[in-house]
């Protein structure tokens, strides 16, 4: 089944294009993630948590008042924190059901698609643009009070960075039939192109373990997610500094860092299935509460698929282990390369920046930590790791969520620090 993702700002015409595509493509259907979001948002446990934090004023007839949350960035962000994983899992469940029913294509449409890992599963991604007047007119059909000012405020609350992604097709929506026909023709062509289907690398020879090849693999898996791709590049830059200071092969630190997040190209369900198929050890927190943390273990499997182990088994195993353990340590002991990737991932300069570019308190701490490492004030990576873990636990407590209990594995240190 081909998956088509349609995104764009509120009122841009996403639903209209999705419906027209479904009408034109035999055995296809639409999933509106707005509907899934609303359904999950009004679960009793979600309502209880939001009311506990913001009071009864957020309710309307016993449910979360959409008008309030769509005009309050703090409340909206908090709700998304609570239901984000459930949202993606629910969409994945619906996709699987539709594929089993024999559908040839499914169109998912949502303004927030670029914020999720679902966008990486799409075989074809379309960004719908519309001018402010067209958007305002469309929104007024649904929300009569909408004004240019309130529309801009809504965009700010939703906070989607559409420019952070690359799309297969960008369309200026003027509700012209020719534009609709262009989109339909484009998607049908993509459905014929079997090279779009992910994971179809039959006949491809495993690559040598080099930095240049790692860059190509990074692009293969994360090209559509510029934010994660750029994060990986920055992590590699920090890891290079740490490797030089700790006498660890720089190329191994750079390669492992470039590829540490390639598992995020998969959905939560795909990660669970891949790890289960390969009989990877998984814990209750990873399976039931936050499957997204499996991206390290899933990424290690993808690394294994892409690279040649025979040419240098020791190097291959070290890099694979570092990718697998960068989220929450490993069942065996962490070596110096593992620690370097973990620390670099958590302190790279842009990771904690808000969308508006303001520096957060956490960002200041990580900036200070990196400066101290560069200046030689902190030489023991375990000290850095301890600071990072404490910060993670404090943030989780502040948000009222459970911190991944497996992070304590990070300090399960290999006393001999065999990393080379």
- The 10s digit of each residue's pLDDT in 112-169 is 888 777 777 788 889 999 888 888 888 777 765 667 777 787 788 777 878 777 888 8
Least confident of 101-110, 283-292, 297-306, 388-397: 283-292
Using a 10 angstrom Cβ sphere, with 0-12 exposed, 13-18 middle and 19 or more buried, the burial of residue 233 is middle
Specify whether the CB–CB gap between 358 and 247 falls below 8 A: no
Over residues 93-108, mean pLDDT: 87
Task: Please give the helix or strand (H or E) that residue 374 lies within, else none.
Answer: helix 361-374
CATH architecture for the domain at 211-411: Orthogonal Bundle (1.10)
Residue 289 pLDDT more than 70?
Answer: no
CA–CA distance from 310 to each of 209, 307, 316 (Å)?
Answer: 10, 9, 9
Compute the residue count for the chain. Answer: 420
Residue 215 pLDDT more than 50?
Answer: yes
The class (CATH top level) of 2-196 is: alpha beta
* Confidence (pLDDT) at 213: 94
Residue 253 pLDDT more than 70?
Answer: yes
Q: Say what percent of the chain tops pLDDT 70.
A: 81
pTM score over 0.85: no
Residue 304 pLDDT more than 50?
Answer: yes
Residue with tokens 């630190």: 253
CB neighbour burial string for 270-295, b if at least 16 within 10 angstroms, e if fewer: bbbebbeeeebebeebbeeebbbbbb
Specify whether the CB–CB gap between 314 and 420 falls below 8 A: no
What residue spans define the domains of the chain? 2-196, 211-411
Query: For the CA atoms of the chain, what is the radius of gyration?
Result: 23
Helix, strand, or coil here: 78? Answer: helix
Query: What's the chain's average pLDDT?
Result: 80
* Confidence (pLDDT) at 126: 92
Best CA proximity match to 134, nearest among 14, 254, 20, 235:
14
Over residues 247-258, mean pLDDT: 95
Q: How far apart are CA 388 and CA 399, in angstroms?
A: 17
Specify whether the CB–CB gap between 361 and 353 falls below 8 A: no
Q: In sequence order, what are the residues at sequence separation of 6 or more whose Cβ sits closer than 8 angstroms to the Cβ of residue 202?
A: none
* Confidence (pLDDT) at 145: 61
Which of the given ranges, 13-22, 94-103, 164-173, 264-273, has the highest pLDDT on average?
Answer: 13-22
User: Which tens digits make up the pLDDT trace of 361-376?
Assistant: 555 666 677 677 766 6
């Amino acid at each position: 089944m081909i998956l088509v993702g349609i995104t764009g700002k509120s009122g841009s015409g996403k639903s209209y294009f999705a419906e027209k595509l479904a009408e034109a493509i035999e055995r296809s259907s639409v999933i509106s993630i707005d509907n899934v979001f609303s359904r999950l948002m009004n679960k009793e446990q979600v309502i209880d948590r939001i009311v506990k934090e913001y009071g009864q004023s957020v309710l309307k007839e016993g449910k979360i008042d959409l008008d309030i949350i769509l005009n309050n960035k703090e409340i909206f962000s908090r709700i998304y924190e609570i239901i984000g994983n459930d949202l993606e899992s629910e969409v994945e469940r619906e996709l699987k059901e539709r594929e089993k029913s024999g559908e040839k294509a499914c169109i998912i449409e949502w303004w927030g698609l670029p914020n999720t890992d679902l966008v990486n599963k799409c075989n074809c991604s379309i960004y719908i643009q519309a001018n402010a007047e067209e958007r305002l007119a469309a929104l007024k059909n649904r929300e009569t009070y909408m004004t240019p000012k309130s529309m801009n405020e809504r965009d700010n609350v939703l906070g989607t960075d559409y420019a952070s992604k690359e799309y297969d097709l960008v369309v200026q929506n003027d509700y012209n039939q020719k534009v609709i026909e262009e989109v339909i023709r484009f998607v049908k062509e993509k459905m014929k192109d079997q090279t779009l289907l992910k994971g179809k690398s039959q006949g491809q020879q495993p690559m040598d373990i080099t930095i240049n090849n790692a860059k190509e693999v990074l692009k293969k898996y994360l090209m559509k997610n510029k934010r994660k791709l750029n994060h990986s590049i920055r992590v590699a830059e920090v890891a290079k500094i740490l490797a030089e200071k700790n006498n660890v092969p720089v190329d191994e630190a750079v390669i492992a860092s470039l590829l540490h997040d390639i598992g995020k190209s998969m959905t939560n369900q795909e990660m669970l299935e891949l790890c289960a198929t390969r009989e990877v050890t998984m814990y209750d927190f990873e399976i039931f509460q936050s499957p997204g943390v499996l991206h390290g273990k899933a990424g290690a499997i993808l690394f294994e698929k892409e690279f040649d182990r025979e040419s240098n088994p020791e190097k291959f195993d070290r890099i694979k282990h570092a990718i697998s353990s960068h989220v929450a340590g490993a069942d065996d002991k962490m070596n110096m390369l593992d620690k370097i990737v973990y620390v670099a991932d958590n302190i790279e300069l842009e990771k904690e920046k808000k969308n508006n570019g303001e520096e957060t308190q956490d960002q200041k701490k990580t900036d200070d930590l990196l400066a101290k490492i560069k200046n030689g004030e902190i030489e023991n990576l375990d000290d850095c790791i301890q600071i990072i873990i404490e910060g993670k636990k404090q943030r989780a407590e502040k948000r009222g969520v459970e911190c991944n209990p497996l992070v304590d594995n990070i300090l399960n240190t290999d006393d001999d620090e065999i990393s080379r």
